[in-house]
Amino acid sequence: MQRELAIRNYSPMTVKSYLYGLREYFAFKKNAFEILDENNIRDFLLHCQKKNMSAESRNVFLNAIKFFYRNVMNVQQKVDIRVAKTGYSLPVVLSRNEIQSLLAAVKNSKHRLLLSLAYGAGLRVSEVIALRVQDVDLDEQTLHIKQAKGQKDRITVMPDKLVDDLRSVVAGKAKGDIVFASERGGKLTTRTAQKIFQNALQKAGIKKSATFHSLRHSFATHLLENGTDVRYVQELLGHQNIRTTQRYTQVTNPNLKRIQSPL
């Protein structure tokens, strides 16, 4: 299973999720793993649902099982089970004032720059910690994000006010060096970057259930509030489907915010 996923260039995160899902199914099935039993798969998914597992996780498990029988066991029988209906939730967005308070709460200059760049360029946590010196174009004020989600490259903007700080950070480094290297060398872990964000959130006294990804949500929302065309925002974020980007228009709808409650 792992070999077949690697051959098809699935991301490390997807490989990990699929292997975990398949192990869970095998633990439930107990034997005869090579035989596709659709009723057993349905029972397994119902078992997961009763354990209050999210629809998203159950769908990952189902896709892992389908992949195993189709591409590893070469079973031609179709698994005629539809994915679970997933809920819809709006992204948690920080206001401009909250962003300023968050950044002001960070005393470590490198950590503040990391969060500032994640917000100012709309980066995922995995993208900002993997950023290398050669990906930073100080003259053009752009960032080249390589092999991001979906194994795709994209170009995004670099905030003008961060140019000097970035120039100082990359000075003396080789082009292949990590911009935000850890104290022991190499890139920071995702967990470390998320902890930096959570500490800043707490120090700033912000009560929203925000995560590091909220910086990216805020980037998109604030661009739309500034009048940037949603198609350009889609390109900067690297969204394949514009509907993914359009959900931010619900957060930033000015007509909705102008409505006064009758109370």
Q: Which residues participate in catalysis according to the annotation? A: 124, 149, 213, 216, 239, 248
Q: Are 182 and 261 in contact (CB under 8 A)?
A: no
The pairing of strands 142-148 and 152-157 is antiparallel
Q: How far is CA 200 from CA 115, 125, 148, 190, 211, in A?
A: 9, 15, 26, 16, 11
Pick the closest to residue 119 from 153, 157, 165, 152 (CA basis). 157
Spatial distance between the Cα atoms of 112 and 105, rounded to a whole number of angstroms: 9
Residue 213 CB neighbours (<10 A): 16
Q: How far is CA 134 from CA 76, 137, 139, 142, in A?
A: 46, 8, 12, 11
